[in-house]
Copies of this chain bind each other. A is one copy, B any other.
Amino acid sequence: TPRAAHTDHSLIFADLTPEEYHKVRDYMWERKDMMISRSPLAAANETFIFLIDLALPKKAAALDYLDRKGAKPRREASVVVFHGAQGYIKEYTVGPLDGQLQHRDVTREKYKTDTLNINSRPVTIGEYAQIFSFLDRAVFQKVEKILKESFNYGKENKLNPFEGMPRGVKSGDRRTWISFFRDMSGMYIHPVGFEVLINHESANQSKWSVEKVMYNGQYFDTIEEFRDKYDANQIKKIVHEKLDNYASLKPRSAPTGVGPQQFYPQGQRFSVKNNQVVYLHWTFAFGLSSLTGMRVFDVRFRGERIAYELSVQEAMSVYGSVTPGMMLTKFLDSSIGIGRFAHELVRGVDCPYAATYVDTYRYIDTAAVQRFRKSVCVFEHDTGRPLRRHFSDFFHNKYGGVANSALVFRTITAIGNYDYMWDFIFYQSGSVEARVHATGYISSSFKVDGSLKYGHQVAKNTLGNIHTHFLNFKVDLDVLGVKNVFQTKDMTYVDVPLPWMPERRAKIPQLVENQLKTEQEAALRYGTTIPRYLHVASNKTNRWGHQRSYRLQVISFSGDHLPETEPEEKSMSWARYKVAITKHKDSEQTSSSLYSQNDMWSPMVDFSKFIEDNESIENEDLVAWVTAGFLHIPHAEDIPNTVTVGNGGGVILRPHNYFDEDPSILSPDGVYFEPG
């Protein structure tokens, strides 16, 4: 039996139910003045509800409810509407969900502007349908013979598109390089060497155009120029060769027996009720934002709140390439939707067989609610090593130890080629780990002259492009309430005389402690010397007189962040910092935004602005924004899929003088013996 008990309090953080999504959608559809299309394939010049998601309660209201028996915060939805007819985007708050709905335009409140640039919207399924038909008409039909000769293109053997991002070089641009890939499973590592730049800026599809063509490293201004030169044999041709599908994930060995499996011999020690998990002395609420992905709230250990929020914020990659499809590519996944792609988890591979699986529901880009079966898993796992142990063979022969069984809360999001596995792990020692591993297909380019500056060849004619992975987490620790300070600790060697031999000196490690006073002091840039211990601390002390704190231990192998001189950098300015501390604001809910990917040059959220006002962070409600990542130089072993071993990063939140002693001494898993 779990030690902590379930409550209904977590429901204030729960994702919308199918009924709530439909209620909001139908309410909006009924706003006649908005003229919202009900088609899931609404065109760019129509008005469309792109997203309905939970509008998080204001923190003060939530704490009032959770801690002071205050009123339950009003439950509301956040609605994103693409007003295609008007040529702008607006956001609305709709609520109360349990009452008579009303809507309120919150665009100015959130973004300090009345409307958002329509071309900063993500490409909808409707627009993709238009792009595909445009490609068919403006590209495939015009060069069918070439595509047949080069790639064996035909009715049964299409080419699939993969888009470079951002879509241009300046605000308002919607000019996308599309690379073509063989129509095989794992297409992402089957580039054919044919890329086109299409301009789909206009809401009127008839104004779209092909602006450039790249074929086998050669550039053409029009499809016609490409066709004519090809026909005139003026270009270096690609001649189709039959190829086995090296991208296939089909196992090549027969199963020889199942590997080790975990089970719960005395039953499950955690329980999931609604959106609340209880595990031994842990409790937390959870949710899955369509945009930013998984998140937990009101994380408590032994009844005390450790964190108000721990959430995924963004997954970003910057690519290198000599060919245009990947050359400028900088992916900002939360603009595409991280949570959106949390699909069903496979028992026994994605999570252990014995895990508990939870369905989630989303409303994004479909005009209807979608159910994602088993898209979250929760399980207790024996890590296979002790949490702690000691055996004495001097003076006292005793043994004490505890196995390291921990609770894992997981989603896996497969956004196109790449799969990120997101774990929040809750340990019996009071630590919480946020961890991400990468797997799935790398992105690739057709190999041409000069390609090898940008990666390694990983398959026939295929370059695995060098790229960075940067992952951002929001860590809103509340250490004994919301009034906290940010401390750093480290060591330094100090030359001191030996007290028993004062003529002799030695260099001895000393503790160096600092309290950082402002947001800018506490914005700790990668590439600079960062103190080794970072703490969110209370001014309250533990039994031994030390400030109670949680330490942030970041695990990262990140590459270089995009230089700030690049105009796209401000859309990803959070990645400058290993850890940055801000004063909490409800208006600074996320470090990135839905609109960043398609308007990297004037992003609606530029994280660096959060710290520009350089507020005091002493005795304030602090939020730590943590960036981890790794440099990925693809190699042959990324085929067919990148493995998780060594490919990830994260942060461990560790109690540091928070308690008076290690709380795992109270674990029911303790083992102890001494000579009888």
**B350, A489: Cβ atoms under 8 Å?**
no
Which of the candidate stretches A560-568, A585-593, A620-628 sits at the interface with the other chain?
A560-568
Q: Is A676 an interface residue (CB 8 A)?
A: no
Q: Is A46 an interface residue (CB 8 A)?
A: no
**A668, B254: Cβ atoms under 8 Å?**
yes
Tell me the complex Cα distance, A576–B322, Å.
Answer: 39
Inter-chain contacts of A658 with B (CB < 8 A): 636-637
A residues 482-506 near B (Cβ < 8 Å) are 489-493, 498-501, 504, 506
**A635, B269: Cβ atoms under 8 Å?**
no
Tell me the complex Cα distance, A183–B392, Å.
Answer: 13
**A553, B457: Cβ atoms under 8 Å?**
no
**A646, B654: Cβ atoms under 8 Å?**
yes
**A657, B456: Cβ atoms under 8 Å?**
yes
Q: How far is the CB of A606 from chain B (nearest CB, A)?
A: 19
Inter-chain contacts of A344 with B (CB < 8 A): 391
User: Which residue of B341, B455, B490, B655 is within 8 Å of A631 (Cβ)?
Assistant: B490
Inter-chain contacts of A1 with B (CB < 8 A): 256
Q: Is A7 an interface residue (CB 8 A)?
A: no
A553 nearest CB neighbor, chain B only: B646
Q: How would residues 537 to 552 of chain A score, 1 for a CB under 8 Å from any chain B CB and 0 otherwise?
A: 0000011111000000
**A403, B246: Cβ atoms under 8 Å?**
no
Q: Is A638 an interface residue (CB 8 A)?
A: yes
Q: How far is the CB of A463 from chain B (nearest CB, A)?
A: 10
Pick 19 A–B contacts, CB within 8 A, sort by A: A214-B499, A259-B403, A260-B380, A260-B382, A262-B262, A387-B644, A388-B440, A390-B419, A394-B416, A427-B645, A430-B637, A431-B645, A454-B508, A457-B544, A466-B511, A533-B633, A543-B636, A635-B655, A640-B665
Tell me the complex Cα distance, A265–B260, Å.
Answer: 7
Q: Is A402 an interface residue (CB 8 A)?
A: yes
Tell me the complex Cα distance, A473–B466, Å.
Answer: 30
**A349, B386: Cβ atoms under 8 Å?**
yes
**A350, B386: Cβ atoms under 8 Å?**
yes
A561 nearest CB neighbor, chain B only: B493
Inter-chain contacts of A652 with B (CB < 8 A): 645-646
Inter-chain contacts of A467 with B (CB < 8 A): 509
Tell me the complex Cα distance, A416–B390, Å.
Answer: 10
**B500, A256: Cβ atoms under 8 Å?**
no
Inter-chain contacts of A394 with B (CB < 8 A): 160, 416
Which of the candidate stretches A34-42, A303-311, A404-412 sits at the interface with the other chain?
A404-412
Q: Is A507 an interface residue (CB 8 A)?
A: yes
**A257, B252: Cβ atoms under 8 Å?**
no
A residues 206-225 near B (Cβ < 8 Å) are 212, 214, 219
Which of the candidate stretches A106-114, A232-240, A313-321 sits at the interface with the other chain?
A313-321
Given contacts A259-B264, A387-B643, A457-B545, 6 further A-B contacts (CB under 8 A): A251-B668, A261-B264, A319-B509, A391-B414, A493-B562, A553-B557
User: Which residue of B318, B354, B391, B664 is within 8 Å of A643 (Cβ)?
Assistant: B664
Q: Is A468 an interface residue (CB 8 A)?
A: yes
**A267, B260: Cβ atoms under 8 Å?**
no
Q: Is A266 an interface residue (CB 8 A)?
A: yes
Chain A: number of interface residues, binned into ranges: 35 or more
Decide: A510 near B454, CB < 8 A? Known: A389-B412, A398-B185, A643-B664. yes
A residues 643-670 near B (Cβ < 8 Å) are 643-646, 652, 654-670
Inter-chain contacts of A430 with B (CB < 8 A): 637
Inter-chain contacts of A252 with B (CB < 8 A): 665-666, 670
Q: How would residues 267 to 310 of chain A score, 1 for a CB under 8 Å from any chain B CB and 0 otherwise?
A: 10100000000000000000000000000000000000000000
**A160, B395: Cβ atoms under 8 Å?**
yes
Inter-chain contacts of A184 with B (CB < 8 A): 396
Q: Is A93 an interface residue (CB 8 A)?
A: no
Q: How far is the CB of A448 from chain B (nearest CB, A)?
A: 10
Q: How far is the CB of A62 from chain B (nearest CB, A)?
A: 29
**A392, B185: Cβ atoms under 8 Å?**
yes
A508 nearest CB neighbor, chain B only: B320
The 7 A-B residue pairs whose C-beta atoms are closest, nearest first, are A249-B400, A251-B670, A257-B266, A320-B509, A259-B405, A457-B544, A388-B641
Q: How would residues 137 to 170 of chain A score, 1 for a CB under 8 Å from any chain B CB and 0 otherwise?
A: 0000000000000000000000010000000010
A421 nearest CB neighbor, chain B only: B385
